[in-house]
Structures are given as structure tokens and as C-alpha cells.
């Protein structure tokens, strides 16, 4: 929880309630992985008439696009939900459109229902990315906060793996039923979990806030924790309008720009491109000694392993080092993948080098899930004042949705214009710029409470924030 001192947190021995919350977020993001991975195997079946519906290539493109469009809309409304209902209830709310996504997939007898399902799934995705990191930031001790974020991000790769495995044996309707069951379990869990102490203090529900503190932090001094939390929040005005005006403060504005930059690199490294087109890339790389569909499963398993490794690394080495190392591995993987296609153009025997794209994609997947994915999600819940981070998370989610839409939407166009080798080299050049940006601008938040982070980042500017709030309060009368 953000208001405890570092000395207090080192004495904590009871953290299992926080891990339950982290596992819940893992189930939430597993739904995102199921949703994102669904299109790769099942659209192929729909295109070839192996399912009840036969679709065209244009309709398949729309199915993919509607997911990102729904995500954009969900990110926009996410700021409203988080401010009104809090991060825990927002997670609960986003299970509703996700349920409709799988229900529409189950009943689909024409393409309209698949379109509607993907839009609902995208809305759920947008809301999820607006609130899950805030929830973890508000319930977790500083020494495990990063680990809980990586548990959540592991859910993405687990969901992707499950949908690939289900696609080998189950129709899209049966797999949608299984996915719906997972979503129901997620819903039940978050109905049972209490709201975060931060949200309850914001709503002046002190008794419920005490109960929440006791649930998430069993060995805490409740009165001291509540007092610290209230003092922390008293420094800030909670209205969204005032929060937006506070982006004029250089420290807050810079934190927002850094966060947007991190999500830019997360999406523009080609992550969605490789996820959506992995089998196609492997086939065009002339890999034939292993079935591409089997390689996809292997790659996803490595992604899960990387997420588990990241749980330890993110709170041991910190966000900045992990992000830089992750970007470096991504650069090596992408540039090597582009080199593979260059060697094919030079008429090198494909059988001699078909191991290279497999190694590159495995390295890319591991690098992405070690740092490139968890670090931005961890940072967005840490570096903003409490009255701003809801808005900041939603703005980050909106930009991430736009970047994802651009990256996925331009891939096939760029393939036709400049071929695959130049696309992967272009991605690697973009990622080279991520390293100096991270070193220079990303603040290190490892092991710090949320209050300590704010004191350091604001560098004495909390008084300026308070003055802005007082001026806005005076202007109301």
C-alpha cells in the first residue's frame, strides 16, 4: 500500500491476500490472452470453411480490426469507471462485455455476431488496461508490487497458450464456452475481493477502508495505516477536471510523456504483428522441419517462462535495468530476423538457416515478457499522484490502443511496399531509441512506497499542486 514506510513494509510477513489479488489480475489478463490469440487459429478455420461460417479475407480483417476499435472505446470510458467505481469494481465491470464476447461467439451463426463479440472483447480489453495496474499498485507492498504485475502479465501468455492448444481439438464454439467459464470464475473472485483502501478513503468510507486494510495487510496497524493514507490523499483534489489541469505541472507532464513513450515501444516493437502473423512469418521464412503451429505453442511456453522469471527480476534489478535489457534482446531478435530474410533473398539454402527465425521469435517473446510488457504496466500505477493516476492510466491505454491499431493495421501494407526484412529492421531501429529514453527519463521506483515515489518525483512540487487545488476550490465560489 502506498503510504507505509519502507521500514514498516520490510516487517511484513503476511502477503498472501495481495497475491490472491495478483492471481485475480492474472485471470483477467488471461482473458486478454485468450481474446488476442483467438484470431490466429480460428480465423484460418473460418476462411477455409472448416466452421459453421465461411468468411472472406476482408471480413477476416474486420474481425481483427474490431478488437482494437473496441479496445480504444474501452480505454476512453475506462477513466470514468475507475474514477467512479474504483479499480476493483472496474475489473468486475469489464468481465461483463467479456462475457458477451464469448456468448456472441457461442451463438454465432453469421458474421455479425463475431463482429459484435470482438467489439465487446475489445471494450473489456481497453477497460482492463486502464485499471489493473492501479489495482495492484493500491493493494501491494512495495517489495512485491512489481512481482504482482508480472504475475498479471503472465496471464496474457497463458491465455494465448490455452487458446492455441484448444484450437487443436475444439471448435470455436466449444472453446468459447471454456473461455466463458474462466470469465465466470474471474467474476466470482472479484465479487468476493474487497475494494482497495485507496478508493474507500477517496469515498470517505473510513470503516470499510479499515476492513480493506485488514484484509489486504493482515499484520498492519490499521489506525496508523488509515491516518497515513488520509494524509496522503488530503494533499490532492480528486476531481477529474482539476486532475487534467495538473498536467500543466512539468513533473506530471513529463511522467505522462515517459509513460506514453513506454507504451509506444511496447506496441511498435512488432509484438502484435508477430503474435497475429507468427505462422505466416514462419512459413514465409521457409521453416518446414517443424510444423509452424507447433512452434507457436513452443514460443508461447517460453513467454510464460519469461514472465515467471520477470517476477524476481523486476523487484531485484529494478524497472530501468530490466527495460533496457529487454529492449536490447528485442533489437537482436528483430535485426536477426530481418537478416534471415535478407539471406533468403541472397539464395542461401533455407535448410541451413531455418533454425534462425525460430530462435529469433523465441528470443523476442522472452524479451517482451521479461521487461517490455510488465515494466510500463508497473510504472503507470506508481509514478502519478493518486488523483491523476486514473486519468493517466486511461490516457496510456488510449495511446496503447492507437499504437496497436497502427502497428497491426500497417503490417500487411508494409510487407507489400518494402518486404519483411525491412519491416523487422525498421522495428529494431525504433527499439534502439528506447534504450536512451529509458536510461534518461524513466524514474526507478524499485522498493519505494507510492508516497516516497511522489516525494522524489515531485521534488518539492507538492506544495504547487496543493496551491492549484486551493485556487480551483476558491474559483468555485
Cell 490502443 belongs to residue: 401
Rounded CA-CA distance 5/103 in Å is 46
Retrieve residue 39's grid coordinates: 484470431
Does residue 427 surpass a pLDDT of 90? yes
Find out whether 349 and 326 touch, Cβ atoms under 8 Å: no
What is the b/e burial string over 83-102, where b = at least 16 CB atoms within 10 angstroms of the residue's CB? bebbbbbbbbbbbebbbbbb
238 pLDDT band (50/70/90 cuts)?
Answer: low
SS3 327: helix
474 pLDDT band (50/70/90 cuts)?
Answer: very low
Q: Do domains 15-220 and 241-462 have the same CATH topology?
A: yes
Query: Where does 205-337 show beta strands of DSSP type E?
Result: none
State which CATH number among 3.40.630.30, 1.10.3720.10, 1.20.1250.20, 2.60.40.640 fits the domain covering 241-462: 1.20.1250.20
State which CATH number among 3.30.70.1400, 1.20.1250.20, 3.40.920.10, 3.40.1360.10 fits the domain covering 15-220: 1.20.1250.20
Does residue 342 surpass a pLDDT of 90? yes
Domain boundaries, the chain: 15-220, 241-462
Q: Who's near 224: CB < 8 A, 6+ residues apart?
A: none
Instruction: Tell me the C-alpha to C-alpha distance, in Å, between residue 138 and each of 3, 5, 150, 197, 378.
Output: 10, 14, 16, 7, 12
SS3 215: helix
Does residue 52 surpass a pLDDT of 90? no
Per-residue model confidence (pLDDT) at position 469: 47
Nearest Cα neighbor of 28 from 103, 145, 108, 121 is: 121
Nearest Cα neighbor of 355 from 367, 345, 340, 373 is: 340
Find out whether 178 and 166 touch, Cβ atoms under 8 Å: yes
Per-residue model confidence (pLDDT) at position 458: 66
Among 316-320, 431-435, 459-463, the range of highest mean pLDDT: 431-435
Does residue 468 surpass a pLDDT of 50? no
Q: What is the pLDDT of residues 152-164, one digit of tens each?
A: 888 888 998 999 8
Kindly report the number of other CB atoms within 10 A of residue 150's CB atom. 29
pTM for this prediction: 0.78
Find out whether 305 and 358 touch, Cβ atoms under 8 Å: no
Rounded CA-CA distance 396/375 in Å is 13
327 pLDDT band (50/70/90 cuts)?
Answer: very high
Q: What is the pLDDT of residues 168-183, one digit of tens each?
A: 888 889 999 999 999 9
Looking from the CA of 329 toward its CB, the CA atoms found within 13 Å total 21
Retrieve residue 88's grid coordinates: 476493483
Mean pLDDT of the chain: 83
Kindly report the number of other CB atoms within 10 A of residue 246's CB atom. 23
Q: How many residues are given for the chain?
A: 477
Does residue 114 surpass a pLDDT of 50? yes
- Name which residue leads in pLDDT, 141 or 426: 426
Instruction: Tell me the C-alpha to C-alpha distance, in Å, between residue 36 and each of 92, 233, 374.
Output: 20, 37, 17
Instruction: Tell me the C-alpha to C-alpha distance, in Å, between residue 302 and each of 25, 36, 154, 467.
Output: 21, 17, 11, 50
CA angle 242, 244, 246 (to 5 degrees): 70
Per-residue model confidence (pLDDT) at position 137: 82
Does residue 186 surpass a pLDDT of 60? yes
Kindly report the number of other CB atoms within 10 A of residue 317's CB atom. 15
Range in 49-58, 254-263, 334-343 the model is least confident about: 49-58
Nearest Cα neighbor of 39 from 163, 165, 157 is: 163
Per-residue model confidence (pLDDT) at position 62: 80
Find out whether 62 and 56 touch, Cβ atoms under 8 Å: no
Nearest Cα neighbor of 371 from 281, 289, 306 is: 306
Most distant CA atoms of the chain, gap in Å:
78
- Region of residue 384 (phi > 0: left; psi between -120 and 50: alpha; otherwise: beta): beta
* Burial status of residue 363 (CB atoms within 10 A of its CB: 0-12, 13-18, 19 or more): buried
Read out DSSP for 143-182? TTHHHHHHHHHHHHHHHHHHHHHHHHHS-HHHHHHHHHHH
- Name which residue leads in pLDDT, 335 or 144: 335
SS (H, E, C) 241-307: HHHHHHHHCHHHHHHHHHHHHHHHHHHHCCHHHHHHHHHHHHHHCCCCCCCHHHHHHHHHHHHHHHH
Nearest Cα neighbor of 458 from 397, 386, 404 is: 386
SS3 290: coil
Amino acid at each position: 500500500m502506498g503510504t507505509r514506510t519502507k521500514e514498516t513494509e520490510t516487517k511484513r510477513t503476511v502477503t498472501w491476500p495481495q497475491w490472491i489479488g495478483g492471481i485475480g489480475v492474472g485471470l483477467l489478463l488471461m482473458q486478454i490472452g485468450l481474446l488476442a490469440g483467438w484470431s490466429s487459429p480460428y480465423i484460418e478455420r473460418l476462411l477455409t470453411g472448416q466452421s459453421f461460417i465461411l468468411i472472406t479475407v476482408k471480413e477476416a480483417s474486420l474481425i481483427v480490426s474490431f478488437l482494437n476499435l473496441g479496445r480504444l472505446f474501452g480505454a476512453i470510458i475506462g477513466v470514468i469507471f475507475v474514477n467512479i467505481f474504483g479499480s476493483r469494481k472496474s475489473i468486475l465491470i469489464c468481465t461483463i462485455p467479456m462475457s458477451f464476447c464469448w456468448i456472441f461467439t457461442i451463438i454465432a451463426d453469421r458474421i455479425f455476431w463475431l463482429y459484435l463479440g470482438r467489439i465487446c472483447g475489445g471494450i473489456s480489453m481497453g477497460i482492463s488496461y486502464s485499471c489493473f495496474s492501479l489495482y495492484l499498485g493500491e493493494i501491494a507492498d512495495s517489495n512485491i508490487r512489481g512481482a504482482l504485475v508480472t504475475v498479471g502479465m503472465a496471464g496474457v501468455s497463458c491465455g494465448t497458450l490455452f487458446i492455441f492448444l484448444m484450437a487443436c481439438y475444439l471448435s470455436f464454439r466449444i472453446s468459447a464456452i471454456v473461455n466463458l467459464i474462466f470469465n465466470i470464475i474471474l467474476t466470482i473472485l472479484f465479487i468476493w475481493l474487497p475494494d482497495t483502501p485507496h478508493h474507500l478513503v477517496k469515498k470517505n468510507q473510513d470503516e470499510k477502508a479499515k476492513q480493506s486494510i485488514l484484509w489486504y495487510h493482515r499484520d498492519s496497524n490499521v489506525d496508523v495505516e488509515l491516518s497515513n493514507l488520509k494524509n496522503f490523499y488530503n494533499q490532492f483534489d480528486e476531481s477529474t477536471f482539476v486532475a487534467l489541469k495538473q498536467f500543466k505541472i512539468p513533473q506530471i507532464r513529463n511522467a505522462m510523456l515517459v509513460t506514453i513513450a513506454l507504451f509506444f515501444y511496447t506496441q511498435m516493437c512488432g509484438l502484435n504483428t508477430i503474435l497475429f502473423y507468427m505462422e505466416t512469418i514462419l512459413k514465409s521464412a521457409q521453416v518446414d522441419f517443424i510444423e509452424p503451429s507447433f512452434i507457436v505453442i513452443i514460443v508461447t511456453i517460453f513467454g510464460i517462462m519469461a514472465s515467471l522469471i520477470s517476477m524476481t527480476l523486476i523487484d531485484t534489478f529494478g524497472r530501468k535495468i530490466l527495460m533496457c535489457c529487454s529492449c536490447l534482446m528485442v533489437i537482436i531478435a528483430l535485426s536477426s530476423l530481418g537478416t534471415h530474410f535478407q539471406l533468403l533473398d541472397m539464395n542461401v539454402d533455407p535448410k541451413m538457416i531455418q533454425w534462425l527465425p525460430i530462435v529469433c521469435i523465441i528470443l523476442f517473446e522472452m524479451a517482451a515478457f521479461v521487461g517490455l510488457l510488465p515494466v510500463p504496466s508497473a510504472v503507470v500505477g506508481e509514478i502519478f499522484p493518486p488523483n491523476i493516476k486514473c486519468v493517466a492510466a486511461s490516457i496510456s491505454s488510449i495511446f496503447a490502443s492507437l499504437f496497436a491499431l497502427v502497428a497491426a493495421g500497417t503490417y500487411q501494407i508494409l510487407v507489400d511496399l518494402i518486404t519483411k526484412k525491412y519491416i523487422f529492421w525498421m522495428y529494431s531501429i525504433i527499439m534502439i531509441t528506447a534504450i536512451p529514453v529509458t536510461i534518461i527519463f524513466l524514474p526507478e521506483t524499485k522498493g519505494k512506497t507510492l508516497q516516497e515515489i511522489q516525494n522524489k518525483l515531485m521534488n518539492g512540487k507538492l506544495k504547487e499542486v496543493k496551491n492549484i487545488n486551493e485556487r480551483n476550490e476558491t474559483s468555485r465560489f
